[in-house]
Amino acid sequence: MALSNVNGADARVARISSTIRVIPDFPKPGILFQDITTLLLDPEAFKDTIDLFVERYKDKNINVVAGVEARGFIFGPPIALAIGAKFVPMRKPKKLPGEVISEEYTLEYGTDKMEMHVGAVQPGEHAIVVDDLIATGGTLGAAIRLLERAGANVVECACVIELADLKGRDRLEDKSLFVLVTST
């Protein structure tokens, strides 16, 4: 069943939800993978997705749209352009040239790191963190900590899909989470 933070009467949410393909047992048995590549094949649904985020953030004084690698890179740049903010990529280790700051986070099977360029974010800037999906909340939590270490005020996290049963929202501490489609 799909739920949303968006007005239930908004037909765009149903269209977006209907374009997301669920792949059972990928990448391993027992996982129901939420595949947004099929959403990207539908220009109307993709535009609706971007429009819903832009409508939410256009008048919120957001300076930074931080996109989490890799699918946050799909949604973040068009949102940033539309609201007049800069896009800051949050990447896996050794992917950004130059000086970076990093934040380690826990996964089911170990740890990983996320990196951001030093100087990409200035103290006092207002940021949102964008990704395609929140599951356990580990990557979004790391992105929040990284931005806050740089002095940014993280206003909210924005995801196309939330896997509500994994309770990732609880790992975001006091940060708000805006999602378009909730999978239960």
Instruction: Determine the pLDDT at residue 2.
Output: 41
Domain ranges, ordered by start, for the chain: 2-183
β-pairing, 176-183 with 2-3? antiparallel
Confidence (pTM): 0.94
End-to-end CA distance of the chain: 6
Closest by CA to 147, choosing from 81, 72, 50, 36, is: 72
- Which residues touch 112 (CB under 8 Å, ≥6 apart)? 92, 93, 104, 105
Residue 174 has pLDDT above 50, yes or no: yes
Instruction: Determine the pLDDT at residue 107.
Output: 76
Active site residues: 71, 108
Structure tokens at 30: 């027992």
| CA–CA distance, 159 with 51 (Å, rounded to integer) | 13
- The matching CATH number, chosen from 3.40.50.300, 3.40.50.2020, 2.60.40.3080, 3.40.50.12160, for 2-183 is 3.40.50.2020
- Per residue in 102-151, pLDDT (tens digit) is 999 987 678 899 999 999 999 999 999 999 999 999 999 999 999 999 99
